[in-house]
């Protein structure tokens, strides 16, 4: 199948060809036609499948064909969990929309709001936003969403996981009821299905990969290793394997910093990326990783969301995630858009329960390989070690919001936010 057969306009086809894409990915083949027909879509697609183009291309087409109002109200709203993902989506919109007369911008927290507000004042057709900053600006009366025609919830599972359910519900209240809704999620928990039922209207369901399974192009391996030898092992893998670009996941920000320092001491160009790093440091680390001046990027799960790094050859789980769905997200960073990749998990005995949960979720046993000199003590405890955040967060069912009567009648305000609602619920990451 070619992009021509999907019914996209010449302006979009020109931009796609400039990007070098020749064939639409499966998720694009399945999602673009129903979106162009104006239908609601519920898509199961993990990162790396080309899902962003799957919704941005048809949105650009619909909006470019629609009526142009001189004051340019926001007609498409894309909600996404993290700033990196938001910035990446905007970058894609700008590229795909290069030959169209549409304006787009992004808003997210952690940076000065003034430039964002100035952009909004000029009139914007497509807004990409993280829920927190959107609500802040709405509460200040700086944003109007009553002309939104298309709503996208991207990485909806992650938004729920980060505790954004209440924010999403508040945003829904100020959107016009008649609109097209698109929801993308890598995993489909009961909570996601419930959210979808509340927002989507007779959605067309499309799937790029089977539910909760990992991409076939990824070779997955588990190295059982003594906990205290993990740092030594990851350094050995990088140096002896002469790896040039490796994304390493840790469970905590502190763990990411510590490992980065050890790597730098061992002569590996490395940087950490996590919620405590300012936007400038995150952008710089990502740029260095992409241009090859950094060999290793050490990331927590939240920070890694939305990183667009094509053809990433290696992903290492320095620690297994305590939320099994995170494993699927993590390894989705490799084997992207058809390329082969390798995902290695360093597994210490205290992570036995995490490995069991991951294998249950993906429905397969991960192959184990011992590396001589690094094997764990066979008598080591298999109890999880408390690491600032315990297992209680693993099944992170979003809190059920209290009925918010203060907002019911108002179409212009989201009402007060609870102080605990910030962009990074898993504050340890
Ligand atoms: P995504 O899943 O949206 O994060 O996209 C993953 C990567 O695939 C990005 O680097 C895109 O630029 C790239 N991509 C998206 N669609 C295509 C396509 N049809 N052909 C080749 N690469 C693509």
- State the DSSP H helix or E strand holding residue 333, giving kind and residue range, or none if neither: none
Which range has the worst mean pLDDT, 110-124, 138-152, 259-273, 335-349?
335-349
Average per-residue pLDDT in the chain?
Answer: 84
Instruction: Please give the pLDDT value at position 306.
Output: 61
The pair of structure tokens assigned to 99 is: 């030959």
- Residues 218-269 pLDDT 10s: 789 999 999 999 999 999 999 999 898 899 999 988 999 999 999 999 999 9
CA of 170 to the centre of ligand 1 (A): 32
Cβ–ligand 1 contact at 25 (below 6 Å): yes
**How, if at all, do strands 180-185 and 104-107 pair?**
unpaired
**Residue 251 and residue 347 in one domain:** yes
Structural domain that includes position 177: 3-207
**Residue 202 and residue 275 in one domain:** no
Of 340, 362, 384, the one marking the end of a domain is 362
Q: For the chain, what's the residue count?
A: 429
**Residue 145 and residue 228 in one domain:** no
Give the pLDDT band of residue 366 (cuts 50, 70, 90): very high
Q: Give the dihedral sign, CA 14/18/22/25.
A: negative
**Residue 10 and residue 153 in one domain:** yes
Three-state DSSP state, 17: helix
Instruction: Please give the pLDDT value at position 426.
Output: 43
**Residue 174 and residue 44 in one domain:** yes
CATH number at residue 62: 3.40.50.300
**Residue 191 and residue 283 in one domain:** no
181 forms beta bridges with: 151
CA of 49 to the centre of ligand 1 (A): 6
Q: Residue 420: inside a domain, yes or no?
A: no
Of 160, 181, 207, the one marking the end of a domain is 207
The pair of structure tokens assigned to 179 is: 């609109």
CA of 200 to the centre of ligand 1 (A): 25
**Residue 164 and residue 303 in one domain:** no
CA 250 – CA 318 distance, rounded (Å): 6
CA of 171 to the centre of ligand 1 (A): 29
Q: Residue 114: inside a domain, yes or no?
A: yes
Nearest residue to 163 via CA among 334, 333, 399? 399
Nearest residue to 83 via CA among 53, 63, 108? 108
Q: Residue 222: inside a domain, yes or no?
A: yes
Say if CB 61 and CB 28 are below 8 A apart: no
Q: Residue 408: inside a domain, yes or no?
A: no
**Residue 324 and residue 260 in one domain:** yes
CA 110 – CA 87 distance, rounded (Å): 13
Of 324, 339, 362, the one marking the end of a domain is 362
- Mutational test site, ligand 1, from 6, 22, 52, max ligand atoms within 8 Å of CB: 52
Nearest residue to 308 via CA among 53, 88, 144? 88
Say if CB 289 and CB 309 are below 8 A apart: yes
47 forms beta bridges with: none
**Residue 131 and residue 268 in one domain:** no
Per the structure, the count of domains in the chain is 2
- Mutational test site, ligand 1, from 30, 43, 337, max ligand atoms within 8 Å of CB: 337
**Residue 232 and residue 309 in one domain:** yes
- Residues 191-227 pLDDT 10s: 888 999 999 999 999 987 544 445 566 789 999 999 9
Q: Residue 57: inside a domain, yes or no?
A: yes
Instruction: Please give the pLDDT value at position 172.
Output: 95
Q: Residue 398: inside a domain, yes or no?
A: no
Cβ–ligand 1 contact at 54 (below 6 Å): no
**Residue 158 and residue 264 in one domain:** no
- Mutational test site, ligand 1, from 50, 56, 310, 312, max ligand atoms within 8 Å of CB: 50
Q: Residue 332: inside a domain, yes or no?
A: yes
**Residue 18 and residue 75 in one domain:** yes
- How does 310-335 read in b/e, with b if 16+ C-beta sit within 10 Å? eebbbbbbbbbbbbbbbbbbbbbbbb
Query: How many of the other CB atoms lie within 10 Å of CB of 367?
Result: 9
Q: Residue 105: inside a domain, yes or no?
A: yes
Sheet holding 218-224, edge to edge: 218-224, 341-347, 314-317, 246-249, 296-299, 270-273
């Amino acid at each position: 199948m070619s992009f021509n057969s999907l019914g996209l306009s010449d302006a979009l086809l020109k931009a796609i060809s400039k990007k070098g894409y020749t064939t639409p990915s499966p998720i694009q083949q399945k999602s673009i036609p129903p979106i162009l027909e104006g239908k609601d879509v519920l898509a199961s697609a993990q990162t790396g499948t080309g899902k962003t183009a799957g919704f941005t291309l048809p949105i650009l087409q619909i909006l470019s064909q629609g009526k142009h109002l001189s004051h340019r109200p926001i007609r498409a709203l894309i909600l996404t969990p993290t700033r990196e993902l938001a910035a990446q989506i905007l970058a894609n919109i700008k590229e795909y929309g290069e030959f169209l007369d549409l304006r787009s911008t992004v808003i997210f927290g952690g940076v000065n709001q003034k430039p964002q507000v100035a952009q909004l004042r000029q009139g914007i057709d497509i807004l990409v936003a993280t829920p927190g900053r959107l609500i802040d600006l709405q509460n200040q009366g700086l944003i109007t969403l009553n002309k939104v025609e298309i709503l996208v919830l991207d990485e909806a599972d992650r938004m729920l996981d980060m505790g954004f359910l209440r924010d999403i519900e508040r945003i829904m209240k100020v959107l016009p009821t008649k609109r097209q809704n698109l929801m993308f999620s890598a995993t489909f928990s009961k909570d996601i299905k419930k959210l979808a039922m509340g927002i989507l209207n007779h959605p067309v369901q499309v799937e790029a990969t089977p539910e909760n399974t990992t991409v076939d192009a990824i070779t997955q391996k588990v190295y059982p290793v003594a906990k205290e030898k993990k740092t030594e092992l990851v350094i050995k893998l990088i140096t002896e394997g002469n790896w040039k670009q490796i994304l390493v996941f840790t469970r905590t920000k502190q763990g990411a910093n510590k490992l980065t320092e050890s790597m730098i001491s061992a002569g590996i160009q490395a940087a950490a990326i996590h919620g405590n790093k300012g936007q400038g440091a995150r952008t710089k680390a990502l740029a260095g990783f992409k241009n090859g001046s950094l060999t290793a990027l050490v990331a927590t799960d939240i920070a890694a969301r939305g990183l667009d790094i094509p053809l990433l050859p290696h992903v290492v789980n320095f620690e297994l995630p305590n939320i099994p769905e995170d494993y699927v997200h993590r390894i989705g960073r490799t084997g992207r858009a058809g390329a082969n990749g390798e995902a290695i998990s360093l597994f210490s005995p205290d992570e036995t329960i995490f490995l069991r949960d991951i294998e249950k979720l993906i429905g397969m046993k991960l192959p184990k390989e011992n590396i001589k000199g690094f094997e764990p003590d066979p008598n080591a405890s298999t109890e999880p070690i408390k690491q600032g955040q315990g297992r209680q967060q693993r099944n992170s069912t979003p809190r059920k919001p209290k009925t918010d009567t203060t907002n019911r009648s108002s179409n212009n305000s989201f009402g007060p936010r609870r102080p605990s609602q910030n962009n990074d619920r898993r504050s340890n990451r």
